[in-house]
């Protein structure tokens, strides 16, 4: 069921968005060559506990997951692009890292993701990350009253295809509110003018993700991490966005912290 939030409820969602933004900014600053993925999860867990927030991941067990997730952040590395289960892995020079983080604060959820390279970057990785970020910006621009879900999807796919990337629609954006994954589903490809009409009060997580040379995924032996079928690298960008009569509000915006 699609739910619309009042202006007062959107204001109540701001603390969750702010906490997610601050946590991702802190984790990105802390994540370097030599960082263990389990340490990222421990740091995120500590920040959640200090804030009195609740993880949306630790007990999460959808049909596509082999078991309850058991960690509080997704850490996807290189050819992993989504749902990366933190493991005992020490980051190496040039690794492409995607962190995806969702929590509930006072009963309201915010969800966001960021991709970056630790150490010496490869040009093709920076290009892939830039495409996901520009696709996210285009999606946010399209998230206005009077448009439809298809307009958001078309904006994302236009950026991806213009840069030569193909698109997987198995996983995409979604409604956010009292739960992490709600309606409507927002695929990363679609036709403008189609789909559910965007109304004031709709809050969604928009999340373009692309793989360098395929649109096919395989599930890792851990039962969670989704990897490219051909071993090529992936990048993921996500923000929680409230659609209002005055335009989109990015609840997980990190720009005020001096980071993208």
> Tens of pLDDT along 129-171?
999 999 999 999 999 999 999 999 999 999 999 999 999 999 9
pLDDT band at residue 260 under the 50/70/90 scheme: confident
* 111 among annotated binding-site residues: yes
Distance from C-alpha of 56 to C-alpha of 253, rounded to nearest angstrom: 19
* 238 among annotated binding-site residues: yes
Half-sphere exposure of 110 (CA within 13 A, CB side): 31
Domains of the chain: 7-251 (3.90.230.10)
Write the DSSP symbol of residue 242. E
pLDDT band at residue 106 under the 50/70/90 scheme: very high
Helix axis angle, 37-51 to 7-30, nearest 10°? 140
User: What average pLDDT does the segment 38-45 reach?
Assistant: 98
- What's the pLDDT at 139? 98
| 3-state DSSP assignment of residue 218 | strand
Distance from C-alpha of 31 to C-alpha of 86, rounded to nearest angstrom: 13
In sequence order, what are the beta bridge partners of 103? 55, 110
Residues 6+ apart with CB under 8 A from 257: 21, 22, 25
Could you tell me the pTM of the whole model? Answer: 0.97
Q: What are the backbone dihedrals phi and psi of residue 200, each rounded to the nearest 5 degrees, phi first?
A: -60, 135
Tokens of 123: 């040009």
- What's the pLDDT at 140? 98
* 174 among annotated binding-site residues: yes
| Minimum mean pLDDT range among 57-66, 83-92, 94-103, 238-247 | 57-66
* 54 among annotated binding-site residues: no
* 207 among annotated binding-site residues: yes
Tokens of 7: 């202006």
Mean pLDDT for the chain? 97
Distance from C-alpha of 72 to C-alpha of 111, rounded to nearest angstrom: 12
Tokens of 211: 């793989």
Q: What is the pLDDT of residues 246-259, one digit of tens each?
A: 999 999 999 888 77
pLDDT band at residue 215 under the 50/70/90 scheme: very high
* 181 among annotated binding-site residues: yes
> Would you tell me how many other CB atoms lie within 10 Å of the CB of residue 120?
8
């Amino acid at each position: 069921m699609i739910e619309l939030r009042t202006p007062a409820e959107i204001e109540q969602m701001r603390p969750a968005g702010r906490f997610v933004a601050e946590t991702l900014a802190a984790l990105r600053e802390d994540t370097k060559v030599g960082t263990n993925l389990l340490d990222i999860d421990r740091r995120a867990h500590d920040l959640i506990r200090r804030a009195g927030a609740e993880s949306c991941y630790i007990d999460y067990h959808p049909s596509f997951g082999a078991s309850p997730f058991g960690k509080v952040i997704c850490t996807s590395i290189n050819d992993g692009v989504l749902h990366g289960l933190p493991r005992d892995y020490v980051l190496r020079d040039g690794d492409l890292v995607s962190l995806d983080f969702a929590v509930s604060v006072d009963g309201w959820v915010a969800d966001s993701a960021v991709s970056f390279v630790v150490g010496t970057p490869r040009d093709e990785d920076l290009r892939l990350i830039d495409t996901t970020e520009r696709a996210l910006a285009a999606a946010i621009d399209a998230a206005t009253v009077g448009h439809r879900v298809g307009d958001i999807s078309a904006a994302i796919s236009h950026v991806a295809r213009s840069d030569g990337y193909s698109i997987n629609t198995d996983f995409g954006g979604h409604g956010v509110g009292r739960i992490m994954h709600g309606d409507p589903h927002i695929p990363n490809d679609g036709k403008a003018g189609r789909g559910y009409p965007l109304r004031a009060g709709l809050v969604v997580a928009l999340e373009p993700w692309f793989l360098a040379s395929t649109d096919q995924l395989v599930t890792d032996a851990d039962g969670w991490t989704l990897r490219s079928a051909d071993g090529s690298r992936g990048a993921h960008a996500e923000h929680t966005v409230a659609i209002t009569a005055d335009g989109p509000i990015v609840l997980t915006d990190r720009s005020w912290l001096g980071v993208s």
